[in-house]
Amino acid sequence: MFYDMNHSPMKPLLALVVLGALAHTGAGANGVHEGSSAAQISFDVPANWVVQNEQELFISGFIVPPEPLFALVASPARSPSSHVLEASSAPWLFVTVEDPTPMLPPSQAYELVPQYLVQAEPGYSGAKITTLVAHHPVQQGGLSGSAAALMVVSSTASTSFDELTYEKGSQLWLIVAGCSASCYDNNRTTITQIVNGVRVGTSA
């Protein structure tokens, strides 16, 4: 399965999604609860955000066959998949659980999104990666990973985001939330709250 950003397929690492049933409950005080028990991940999305799950992403063309059993994007803007990983004026959330290619060294998994933008997204060729919050180790629910806040700056666009990754065996949990640099500064509290609220592994 590949993610299609304006008909530009994602790298193979953002390809195979772990089998799992999508769990969706009603809105609570802090938003809408999303997740997958099989993929061992759960999180809350603000109640006013539009959510697209893997079935909707397949229909919209954001992903192509084989259709995954778990993937999700969200944003307060309509059609979140049109904004995710872009320097948009509205914040977005991208969550997936993957079975990464064995050719990718573990250390590179933590730079997945910056690498994708620079290598595959039009307008980001030659872009510079600026560290807002340095990568630091995180552990949760029996999983180990890394968290950081980064900005990818090109001559035409700047995208800032919080990135959280966990690894266990051959599986990779990836959570990314951000938008344009100015949007990120204005919505950083919400973005960080969403990412910090993600539960994985046995904590999900």
Q: Which residues contact 29 (CB under 8 A, 6 or more apart)?
A: none
By residue range, what is the domain housing residue 156?
A: 2-203
Q: Give the whole-angstrom CA distance, residue 56 versus residue 59.
A: 5
- Report pLDDT digits (tens) over 128-172: 889 999 999 999 999 998 999 999 998 888 999 999 989 887 778
Domain count, the chain: 1
- Regarding pTM above 0.85, the answer is no
168/76 Cα distance (integer angstroms):
32
The mean pLDDT value of the chain amounts to 77
Query: What is the tens place of the pLDDT at every residue in 53-69?
Result: 888 887 888 776 655 55
Give per-residue pLDDT as tens, 173-195: 889 999 999 999 999 999 999 99
pLDDT digits (tens, 9 = 90+) for 14-43: 332 322 223 333 444 468 999 889 888 999
Q: Phi/psi class of residue 71: alpha, beta or left (left: φ > 0; alpha: ψ in -120 to 50)?
A: beta
For residue 138, the domain's CATH number is: 3.40.1000.10
Q: What is the pLDDT of residues 81-127, one digit of tens each?
A: 888 888 999 999 998 877 755 545 544 555 567 766 766 666 777 78
